[in-house]
Amino acid sequence: MKSVRFLALALAIASAATYASVQAAPQAPSAPAAQQAPRRPASPPGTAATQVGGKWVPAEKPGQPPRYQDGKWIEVTYSRPILRGRTQIFGVGDNYGQGVKGSDPVWRAGANQTTRFKTEVPLVFAGKTLPAGEYSLFVDLKPDAWTLIFSKQPYQQKYEPANKAATWGATNYDPAHDVLRVPMTVSTIPFSLDQFTIGFLDMTQQGGTLAMWWETTQATAAFTVGS
């Protein structure tokens, strides 16, 4: 029960970090006053962030709280698709992953634009170092065997079909740009999470775990802070 409560708390924190975005509907040219209400995207944008490597120092003045200094940011920005009544979202057998990645070779770990991962400090996953920097984040989906991919391939801010060198989501993904591939631990959670969520678990100043949840699936990759 303790682990379930902790997971639920972590999900609540990750969900609280989500920020809403609206897109204005086009205005009818013949009737300027007749406008549709602003509509939210089907997969709202979200973020997951943490800091590592810093320290808490006493307040400079009496009555003030202590402050955290010298921490380094780790941040994921992504779009968060919703089940909307779907079940077995990742599929089974030979069709595993097809429902979320379509014809792309890997999954964008979200929706819409390519998921982005930024770290101000080197991170060590499974004994391999990911240098500080900005990366695109993908997942190679296999039943019970996910692989987390950090890539330096250029990505598109706005979809351009003629641009085959840069990714939109996972479209045009080229493994030649991979910087690091990390095996993930896949497990089943005892409830169904409606909206895809990325978050950080068991964080200390020396490292923690990057986690993904959707429906009844959890996938995690532990890391430590490198030098």
Q: For residues 50 and 72, is the Cβ–Cβ distance under 8 A?
A: no
Q: pLDDT-derived band of residue 7, with 50, 70 and 90 as boundaries? A: low
The residue with greater pLDDT, 168 or 16, is 168
Q: Per mean pLDDT, which range of 18-32, 46-60, 87-101, 189-203 is the poorest?
A: 18-32
Instruction: Write the pLDDT tens digit of every residue in 124-167.
Output: 999 999 999 999 999 999 998 999 999 999 999 999 999 999 99
What is the model's pLDDT at position 11?
A: 52
Distance CA(74)–CA(201), nearest Å, equals: 13
Q: What is the pTM of this model?
A: 0.83
What is the model's pLDDT at position 138?
A: 98
Over residues 177-186, the mean pLDDT reads 98
The mean pLDDT value of the chain amounts to 88
Give percent of the chain above pLDDT 90.
Answer: 78
Over residues 171-186, the mean pLDDT reads 98
Q: Residue 199 is which amino acid?
A: G
147-151 and 178-183 strand pairing? antiparallel
